[in-house]
Amino acid sequence: MNAGLFIGRLVFGALFTAHGAQKLFGWFGGYGLSGTGPFFEGLGFRPGRLFAAVNGVAEVGDGLLLALGLLEPIACAVIISVMIVAFVTVHWRHGLMALTNGVELPLLYATAALSLALTGPGDYSLDATFGLRSLWPSQLTAIALVASIIGAFATLAMRRCSPSVSRVGLDHASPRHSND
């Protein structure tokens, strides 16, 4: 089980880190802050560059924490929060499958983060190495998860939608920014 948790955390964390690096630095085919900022503006998050930077830092930071197995419940909770916002603002109206920019990918990320938060980081983690697992009883993990959901809805409440925003997403949302 520990090897499985390690592999899952490592791959998921690395991919989530890369996803954030697209937004922050334009790496891996991303647009960097200069391109992602206006996209966030179009979603109603103003100032867009600030929201894009906070989102990118959250994705890079929490992806790294997850990969290392350090403060894992917090990393997972923030990932869930980011994915709830992406789910609502970009993907919901496109249906289920990722091919149509649907909810599949953010739903998978959020589900994986929830699963890892509930199972813990395993023995091959910095939480285990530094003896931090005892700091995360199930009640504290539950509080972190509930706080992440509240945080997601607080973020959504900060949106200032323009007439170009229909229902819960953008009519012209770019598939290249499919997981914002």
**pLDDT per residue over 122-172, tens digit each?**
999 999 999 998 888 889 999 999 999 999 999 999 998 765 544 444 333
For 43, the domain range is: 2-177
Largest CA distance in the chain: 52
CA dihedral sign, ordered 36, 40, 45, 51? negative
Residue where the block lists tokens 């906070």: 54
Listed as ranges, residues in the chain with pLDDT below 70 are 162-180
User: By percentage, how much of the chain surpasses pLDDT 90?
Assistant: 83
pLDDT score, position 107: 96
Residue 30: C-alpha distances to residues 24, 84, 179 (Å): 8, 21, 11
pTM (predicted TM-score): 0.86
User: By percentage, how much of the chain surpasses pLDDT 70?
Assistant: 89
Q: Which helix (H) or strand (E) covers residue 169, if one does?
A: strand 169-170
Contact 69, 122 (CB under 8 A): yes
Q: How many domains does the chain have?
A: 1
